[in-house]
Amino acid sequence: MPTTKQDLSSLTKLGRYSKPSRTLEVFPSHGVKSMEVTLHCNEFTCVCPLTGQPDFATIDITYVPNKFIVESKSMKLYLETYRNVGIFHEHLAVDIGKDFLKFVKPKSVSVTVRFNVRGGIAIDAVWRS
């Protein structure tokens, strides 16, 4: 089934200039019972909450849609809001996961944050609903 105009009707960021925000837009899922979606972001940045030093990470969000699919540009803009935010890696996984549940309402979601080595240690954190 092709994407319909009704599928696009609630999207306000796609195809337009939009500022980063902590909101996610969705469109209807056409494959509710048989789909898993994974989003990969390999250019994520935030800063250490104590030192302000930059942190770089890869983020994978894997979910089973219920009624909605997240619109990818809104996800990109959402992640961009963390660029200058001081946050521990483990807190980031939780925050993204809870916001994803709030806006997308999937059947399940897993958020994996894989931070680059800093100070000799790389940190991965996984949050699941």
Active-site residue set: 48, 55
Give the side-chain half-sphere CA count within 13 A for 50: 2
Q: Count H helices and E strands in the chain, helices first.
A: 3, 6
Please give the distance of CA 26 from its chain centroid, rounded to a whole number. Answer: 12
Q: Which of 121, 123, 62 lies closest to 87 in space, CA to CA?
A: 123
Neighbours of 127 (CB within 10 A): 20
Strands in the chain per DSSP E: 26-28, 37-47, 54-64, 68-70, 108-115, 124-128
